[in-house]
Chain A
Amino acid sequence: MNENRIIQRIKDGDKSAFEELFKLYENKIYNLALKWTGDPQDALDVSQEVFLRVYRYLPGFKNQSSFGTWIYRIAINVCRDAYSKNRDETLSLDGEEEFETQIPDVRYSPENEFEKRQIKEVLKEAILSLDDAHKAVVIMRDINGLSYEEIAQALEINTGTVRSRLARAREKLRKKLAENGNFFEAGKSNNSEETHDKEGKRS
Chain B
Amino acid sequence: MNCEKYAEYISALTDGELSSAERRELAEHIKECPDCEKRLDQIKALKETLSDMRAETPYDLHELIMEGVKKENAKRRAGIRKRIFGLCAAACLVFAFALVLAPNFSKLYLFGVKGEKSASEAPAMIEESTEADVAFDDAAVFSENASFDTDSLKSEAATAEYALPAAGAAPSAAGSDSGGTETTEKARSYMDGEFSNYIAFYGNAEIPDRFGDKETDYDPVNNRTYIYVANEDYKDAVAAISAAGFVLVDFDFPEPAQDAPRSLILICGDN
B53 located at the interface, meaning its Cβ lies under 8 Å from any Cβ of chain A in the complex: yes
Comparing A19-27, A85-93, A96-104, A195-203, the segment that makes contact with chain B is: A19-27
Nearest CB to that of B47 among chain A residues? A142
Nearest CB to that of B30 among chain A residues? A192
Q: Is A13 a contact of B38 with CB atoms below 8 Å?
A: no
B134 located at the interface, meaning its Cβ lies under 8 Å from any Cβ of chain A in the complex: no
Top 8 A-B pairs ranked by shortest CB distance?
A167-B11, A60-B188, A48-B68, A142-B50, A167-B8, A60-B192, A59-B188, A60-B189
Contacts of B39 in A (CB 8 A): 174
A5 located at the interface, meaning its Cβ lies under 8 Å from any Cβ of chain B in the complex: no
B11 to chain A, nearest CB (A): 4
Nearest CB to that of A183 among chain B residues? B45
Q: Is A59 a contact of B15 with CB atoms below 8 Å?
A: no
Q: Is B8 a contact of A163 with CB atoms below 8 Å?
A: yes
If the complex has contacts A163-B17, A170-B46, are A13 and B65 also in contact, measured as CB distance less than 8 A?
Answer: no
Interface of B toward A, CB cutoff 8 Å? 7-8, 10-12, 15, 17, 34, 37-39, 41-58, 61-62, 64-69, 72, 176, 178, 182, 185, 188-194, 254-255, 259
Contacts of A143 in B (CB 8 A): 50-51, 53-54
Task: Give the size range of A's interface with the partner.
Answer: 35 or more
Q: How far is A8 from B170 in the complex, measured between Cα atoms in Å?
A: 27
Q: Is A48 a contact of B34 with CB atoms below 8 Å?
A: no
Q: Is A44 a contact of B64 with CB atoms below 8 Å?
A: yes
If the complex has contacts A51-B69, A59-B185, A123-B53, are A170 and B11 also in contact, measured as CB distance less than 8 A?
Answer: yes
Main secondary structure of the interface of B (DSSP, over half): helix
Q: Is B259 a contact of A190 with CB atoms below 8 Å?
A: no
One digit per residue, 1 when the CB lies within 8 angstroms of any chain B CB and 0 when it does not, for chain A 149-186 equals 00000000000000110111011011001100001100
Q: How far is A143 from B49 in the complex, measured between Cα atoms in Å?
A: 10
If the complex has contacts A60-B188, A61-B192, are A192 and B7 also in contact, measured as CB distance less than 8 A?
Answer: no
**24 residue pairs bridging A and B, Cβ less than 8 Å apart:** A13-B185, A26-B61, A31-B56, A40-B58, A44-B58, A47-B61, A48-B65, A48-B67, A49-B68, A51-B68, A57-B188, A57-B191, A57-B192, A59-B189, A60-B189, A60-B190, A60-B191, A123-B49, A173-B46, A174-B42, A174-B43, A189-B45, A190-B41, A193-B38
Q: Is B61 a contact of A30 with CB atoms below 8 Å?
A: yes
A191 located at the interface, meaning its Cβ lies under 8 Å from any Cβ of chain B in the complex: yes
A11 located at the interface, meaning its Cβ lies under 8 Å from any Cβ of chain B in the complex: yes
A111 located at the interface, meaning its Cβ lies under 8 Å from any Cβ of chain B in the complex: no
A119 located at the interface, meaning its Cβ lies under 8 Å from any Cβ of chain B in the complex: yes
B207 to chain A, nearest CB (A): 24
Q: How far is A47 from B66 in the complex, measured between Cα atoms in Å?
A: 11
A184's contact among B41, B52, B57, B176, by CB below 8 Å, is which?
A: B41
Q: Is B10 a contact of A167 with CB atoms below 8 Å?
A: yes
Contacts of A166 in B (CB 8 A): 11-12, 15
Q: How far is A174 from B49 in the complex, measured between Cα atoms in Å?
A: 12
